[in-house]
Structure 1
Amino acid sequence: MDTRQQEHLARIREAFAAEMRAARARRGVTQSELAQQAGMSRATVARLEAGERSLDMSQLFALCEALGVDPGEILNAVQRQAAEK
């Protein structure tokens, strides 16, 4: 993977992290509560929200279900944010 691709993936992770933090704040739940509802560890949620980790589709859907948001809306917002940077 070249530098440009790595930078693009970093922008995507950062945009996803921002969207997840915002969705969690709107829902009014802690990282621990979200992790429990989504079936993952709090450390995983923390790394995702810090943009330190990528996620797979099953994690995306579990998080979105726990937050009551549509995965398509999250992905569209991430795509817009990543394109702006």
Structure 2
Amino acid sequence: MDRAATDDGSAILAALGAAIREHRTAAGLTQAQLAERAGIGRPHLNHIEGGRKSPTVVVLVHLARGLGVDPAALLKTQTVSKATR
């Protein structure tokens, strides 16, 4: 994988993590509460929100369900849109 692809990947993970965090705080949930709803550990959620870990599709769907949003809503960010153009 070249450096540009890695940088794009990092930007996508950061945008995804920020979107999850924004939806979580808007829902009035703590990391522990969302992690429990999604069936993952709070440290794992912390790494996802920080853009340091990539969630599997299954975990992404569980997070979306825990937030009461469509999984696509978590992927709709300006950074992701720019990366896919």
Q: What residue in structure 2 maps to residue 66 of structure 1?
A: 66
Structure ranking higher in helix proportion: 1
Q: What residue in structure 2 maps to residue 52 of structure 1?
A: 52
TM-score (norm 2): 0.91
Matches within 5 A, 1:1-85: 1-75=1-75, 77-78=76-77, 80-82=78-80, 83=82
The runs of 4+ residues in structure 1 deviating greater than 3 Å are none
Distance in 1, matches of 2:60 and 2:33, equals: 16
Q: Secondary structure at the match of 1:6?
A: helix
How far is 1:13 from its partner? 0.4
Letter in 1 for 2:36: Q
Distance in 2, matches of 1:73 and 1:41, equals: 22
Q: Percent identity?
A: 32
Structure 2: state its 5+ residue gaps: none
- Paired positions, count: 82
Q: Secondary structure at the match of 2:40?
A: coil
Structure 1: state its 5+ residue gaps: none
Distance in 2, matches of 1:48 and 1:36, equals: 15
Q: Secondary structure at the match of 1:40?
A: coil
Q: Root-mean-square deviation (CA), in Å?
A: 1.2
